[in-house]
């Protein structure tokens, strides 16, 4: 069970000396740097210990001057050892450096180990130092050269103190044996017993006979469905290679494809509802309550098509006759994307929107500003993208963004993801693309915390205009009190990421940005109806020592605590947003206020925004706050559930050190997103984020329940993709697929087990429901993902396996996947031996899961004993 981490980094130091001397220095100045975990079993202020080892493989001594190594690492507070020859320094956020102490001296052929402690556990390869680089200094301390570290590798984790979150971690380290036991209650089902469509419709009936879809069928549509008709025609062209005719005219009879709208109500829902009929005689008819309903009918039709058609076009497609009546349980079915910690291109956003639309999600919260990046072009404030959209080596205090999350020292460097932004045209394209798919884009400008990129950009603007002697222009959009000395430390390790809400220029800035974004919606001809303010994680200590804040306090007849200025800002933001007539989203903190024990961080619900179109997004569904969403809904707020333990797709699938992702809220897989009861989350909150079992009857007996009359205030659910650990499109897709499939079912369909009060009976029904769902994913949804919308990099779970009495037994999390194995030491391929039943083995075994498209999992290794 125990694993160690060691990261081997080959550090090549080469100076740009001239002529022959330069070549000689490059030849001999070679260093090797290794990093490894020592233990997560520390007690006290620090939780873990790690070490760098610097190997001098040159022919000369490395002394204590003229160099430093910088790198990014998941932010933790550092404690250096008193006897260390060098210090590890947390400069800001996740940006660190290694600097030599006076005692540092590394003779040729020798090595030095630098141990240090950190405040939180490190259990993942994605926790390790990223993109270390060397900075060289001249005798006066001026930077003269920056060098990338050329080689960087991570050795396997090999001891439990390197993987467990402390000595008492109850979550087992994943291995084939415990995976097998976990999967043992799953069973393979026949095709007739699995779902035909995910998310599953309210009502579905199969009928005898089939319909042949080919270009002989014309597409009729009513005037309000031109976009949907063009969308269907294009999908059919891709699948058949033929061009279908579309006609805006009334359907008079005969075999055809018909798209139409009329008032309908399915399960008491009359918005986004549809009826789909496939008939050998009349063809394909999709009737929607509105264009969105017709669009979802098209998606259901696509889901009914044979998987093979997505692989290679066929001029004719045979589909079974079917009758479907369907409508969503929630009007809000959302997906969030953080494009700031790491940037994602417009093309990557389009693919996410495509898969969202296929699984009938209809809201897209796009995070456009954060500490680590500003991602949307604002004409009035060009500094926001010139400064705030790129990261590079700099100093903490400079009006620029330093490296974060492995972005390295050079902006826009290859294979880095810290720099980039959406131009005005890009954002307009995103709006239109989403609108065509009935997805509402919710832009997010995070204030007053998480605002470092905006602050640095406006400081660059300030310095530019001050250099020209134009002080009024310099201060027009400034976001800080230059004399503020407040002490705070944010959740991500920053002490300079909160705007000063006493400045009027803060509100001018915010309004300017919102108005510019609103104008983009107008240019796109897309309604601007929803804006998200962020508003989370304003650190304790903000505004505690600010002359500007004190000036406002002096005018108040009743003094308030400095942290109450978060409410002060949000009140002003809500008033500012009135003229735009939008719903106002914010993380749950925006509708909370400090209690009397404010210095301890206690909060209570602030009801002053109940009737002001404010929608809190509930995310802390643990640590005693499990009922907060229901308390908010019972007070009259519309609420979106964003439960960290169920819907945070950036949390790792499991504890395997090679599985990327975070884990502060536990681990999160497809089943977690599926097994959530939105109206009664106590039923499905059975463990803590650290994996401890919860006695749900006793633990939650005094928690506030959602009142029946306030169910309407839970307007929906949203999945989150925070991008600290996500680098590029392949990782992004791996994180959300197949999790988004399980989430879509929770968003669309109320399951019978959600209303079963008896825990034993409920969990029996949950298991049965999940088994059907997992079989469907394996046989239909995963192989389709290999081809649809250009194909995705989705995750296939590794097989479970054990050897018992000489027999190899294997299974998988998604029954219906193939398991193939080898016993000769080679890695399994799609041509390796197929596992069908327990088989006698006499050697070590490697196994791998495959779907029918050929995509495969990580390898499971079982040792023969």
Write the pLDDT tens digit of every residue in 711-755. Answer: 999 999 999 999 999 999 999 999 999 999 999 999 999 999 999
Cα 20 to its chain centre, rounded Å, is: 51
Pairing between β-strand 614-618 and β-strand 583-587 as defined by DSSP bridges: parallel
SS3 labels along 732-752: HHHHHCCHHHHHHHHHHCCCH
Q: Tell the residue number behind the tokens 């022919």, with chain if given.
A: 59
Look at residue 600 in the predicted model and tell me its pLDDT: 58
Residue 4 pLDDT > 70, yes or no? no
- pLDDT at residue 310 is higher than 70: yes
- pLDDT per residue as tens digits for the range 361-393: 999 999 999 999 999 999 999 999 999 999 999
pLDDT confidence of residue 865: 87
Sign of CA dihedral 13, 16, 21, 27: positive
Pair of tokens at residue 288 = 């929607």
The pLDDT of residue 1: 34
The whole-angstrom separation of Cα 489 and Cα 697 is 37
> Using an 8 Å Cβ cutoff, are 635 and 605 in contact?
yes
* Closest residue by Cα to residue 739 from 830, 824, 853, 651: 651
CA-closest candidate to residue 341, choices 509, 491, 514, 150? 491
Phi and psi angles of residue 72, each rounded to the nearest 5 degrees, phi first: -110, 145
Confidence of residue 149 (pLDDT cuts 50, 70, 90): confident
Burial 94-127 (b: 16+ CB within 10 A, else e): bbbbbebeeebebeeeeebebebbbbbbbbbbbb
374 within 8 A of 388, measured Cβ to Cβ = yes
Find out whether 228 and 221 touch, Cβ atoms under 8 Å.
yes
Q: What is the mean pLDDT of residues 415-419?
A: 96
Candidates 711, 746, 718; CA nearest to 617 is 718
Model confidence pLDDT, tens digit, residues 108-120: 999 999 999 999 9
Q: Cβ atoms within 10 A of the Cβ of 320, count?
A: 15
Report the distance separating Cα 364 and Cα 710, nearest Å. 25
Q: In sequence order, what are the residues at sequence separation of 6 or more whose Cβ sits closer than 8 angstroms to the Cβ of residue 473?
A: 465
Residue 795 in tokens: 């995750």
| Three-state SS at 539 | coil
**425 membership: H or E segment, kind and range:** helix 424-436
**Once rounded to an integer, what is the mean pLDDT over residues 820-847?**
97
Of residues 586, 524, 738, 617, the one with CA closest to residue 334? 617
Task: Compute the radius of gyration of the chain from its Cα atoms.
Answer: 29
User: Residue 539 corresponds to which tokens in the numbers above?
Assistant: 């650190």
DSSP 393-421: S--TTSSSBPP-TT--SSTT-TT--S---
Residue 629: CB atoms within 10 Å = 28
User: Tens digits of per-residue pLDDT, 12-60?
Assistant: 333 333 333 333 333 223 678 889 999 999 998 999 999 998 888 788 8
Assign 7 a pLDDT band (cuts: 50, 70, 90): very low
Quote the mean pLDDT of the chain.
94
Sheet containing strand 860-862, edge to edge, reads: 833-834, 818-822, 845-850, 860-862
Whether residue 6 has pLDDT greater than 70: no
What gap in Å lies between CA 16 and CA 19, rounded to an integer?
9
> What is the 3-class SS of 548-591, one letter each residue?
HHHHHHHHCCCCCCHHHHHHHHHHHHHHHHHHHCCEEEEEHHHH
Distance CA 80, CA 103 (A): 15
Q: What is the mean pLDDT of residues 524-539?
A: 97
CA distances from 649 to 165, 623, 665, 862 (A): 20, 19, 11, 29
CA distance 357 to 437: 6
pLDDT, tens digit, for every residue of 658-707? 999 999 999 999 999 999 999 999 999 999 999 999 999 999 999 999 99
Q: Give me the residue label for tokens 């009007």.
A: 331
């Amino acid at each position: 069970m125990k694993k160690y981490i060691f990261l081997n980094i080959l550090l090549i130091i080469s100076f740009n000396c001239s002529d022959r001397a330069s070549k000689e220095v490059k030849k001999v100045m070679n260093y090797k740097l290794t990093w490894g975990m020592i233990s997560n079993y520390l007690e006290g202020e620090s939780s873990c210990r790690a070490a760098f080892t610097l190997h001098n493989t040159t022919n000369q001594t490395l002394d204590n001057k003229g160099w430093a190594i910088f790198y990014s690492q998941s932010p933790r507070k550092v404690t250096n050892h008193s006897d260390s020859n060098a210090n590890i320094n947390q400069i800001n956020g996740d940006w660190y450096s290694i600097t030599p102490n006076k005692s540092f001296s590394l003779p040729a052929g020798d090595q030095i180990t630098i141990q240090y402690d950190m405040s939180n556990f490190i259990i993942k390869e994605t926790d390790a130092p990223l993109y270390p680089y060397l900075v060289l200094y001249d005798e006066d301390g001026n930077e003269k050269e920056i060098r990338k570290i050329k080689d960087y590798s991570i050795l396997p984790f090999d001891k439990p103190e390197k993987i467990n979150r402390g000595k008492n971690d109850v979550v087992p380290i994943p291995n084939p044996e415990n995976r097998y036991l976990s999967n043992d209650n799953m069973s393979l089902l026949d095709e007739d017993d699995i779902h035909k469509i995910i998310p599953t419709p309210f009502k579905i009936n199969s009928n005898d006979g089939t319909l042949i879809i080919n270009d002989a069928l014309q597409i009729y549509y009513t005037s309000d469905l031109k976009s949907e008709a063009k969308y269907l025609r294009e999908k059919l062209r891709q699948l058949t290679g033929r061009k279908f005719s579309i006609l805006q005219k009334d359907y008079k009879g005969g075999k055809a494809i018909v798209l139409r709208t009329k008032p309908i109500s399915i399960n008491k829902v009359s918005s986004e509802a549809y009826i789909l009929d496939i008939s050998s005689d009349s063809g394909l008819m999709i009737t929607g309550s509105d264009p969105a309903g017709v669009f979802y009918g098209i998606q259901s039709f696509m889901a009914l098509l044979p998987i093979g058609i997505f692989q290679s076009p066929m001029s004719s497609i045979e589909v079974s006759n079917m009758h479907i009546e369907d409508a969503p349980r929630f009007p809000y079915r959302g997906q969030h994307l953080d494009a700031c910690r790491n940037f994602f291109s417009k093309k990557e956003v389009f693919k996410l929107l495509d898969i969202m639309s296929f699984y009938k999600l209809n809201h897209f919260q796009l995070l456009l500003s954060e500490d680590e990046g500003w991602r949307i072009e604002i004409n009035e404030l060009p500094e926001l993208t010139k400064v705030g959209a790129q990261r590079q080596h700099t100093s903490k205090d400079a009006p620029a963004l330093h490296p974060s999350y492995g972005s390295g020292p050079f902006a826009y460097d290859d294979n880095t993801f810290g720099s980039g932004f959406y131009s005005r045209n890009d954002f307009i394209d995103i709006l239109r693309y989403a609108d065509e798919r009935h997805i509402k884009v919710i832009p997010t400008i995070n204030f007053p915390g998480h605002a470092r990129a905006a602050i640095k950009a406006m400081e660059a603007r300030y310095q530019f205009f001050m250099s020209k002697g134009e002080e009024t222009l310099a201060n027009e959009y400034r976001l800080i009190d230059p004399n503020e000395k407040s002490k705070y430390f944010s959740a991500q390790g920053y002490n300079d990421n909160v705007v000063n809400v006493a400045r009027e220029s803060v509100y001018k800035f915010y309004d300017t940005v919102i108005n510019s974004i609103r104008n983009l919606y107008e240019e796109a001809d897309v309604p601007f109806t929803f804006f998200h303010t962020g508003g989370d994680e304003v650190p304790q200590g903000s505004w505690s020592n600010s002359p500007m804040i004190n000036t406002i306090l002096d005018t108040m007849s009743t003094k308030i605590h400095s942290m109450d200025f978060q409410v002060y800002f949000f009140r002003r933001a809500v008033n500012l947003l009135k003229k735009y007539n939008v719903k106002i989203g914010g993380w749950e903190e925006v509708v909370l206020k400090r209690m009397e024990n404010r210095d301890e961080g206690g909060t209570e619900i602030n009801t002053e925004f109940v009737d002001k179109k404010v929608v809190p997004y509930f995310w802390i569904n643990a640590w005693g706050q499990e009922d907060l969403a229901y308390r908010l809904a019972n007070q009259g707020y519309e609420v979106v559930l964003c439960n960290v333990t169920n819907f945070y797709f950036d949390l790792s699938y499991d504890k395997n050190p090679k599985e990327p992702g975070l884990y502060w809220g536990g681990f999160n897989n497809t089943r977690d997103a599926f097994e959530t009861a939105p109206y009664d989350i106590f039923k499905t909150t059975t463990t803590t984020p650290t994996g401890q079992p919860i006695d749900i009857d006793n633990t939650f007996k005094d928690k506030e329940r959602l009142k029946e009359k306030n169910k309407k205030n839970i307007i929906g659910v949203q999945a989150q993709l925070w991008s600290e650990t996500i680098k590029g499109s392949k990782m992004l897709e791996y994180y959300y697929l197949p999790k988004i499939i399980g989430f879509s079912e929770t968003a669309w369909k109320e399951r019978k087990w959600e209303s079963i009060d008896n825990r034993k009976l409920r969990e029996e029904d949950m298991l049965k429901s999940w088994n059907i769902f997992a079989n469907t994913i394996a046989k239909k949804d995963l192989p389709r993902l290999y081809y649809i919308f250009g194909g995705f990099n989705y995750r296939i779970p590794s097989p479970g396996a054990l050897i018992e009495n000489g027999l190899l037994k294997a299974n998988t999390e998604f029954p219906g996947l193939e398991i193939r194995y080898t016993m000769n030491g080679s890695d399994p391929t799609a041509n390796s031996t197929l596992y069908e039943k327990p088989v006698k083995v006499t050697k070590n075994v490697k196994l791998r899961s495959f779907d029918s498209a050929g995509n495969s999992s990580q390898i499971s290794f079982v040792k023969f004993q």
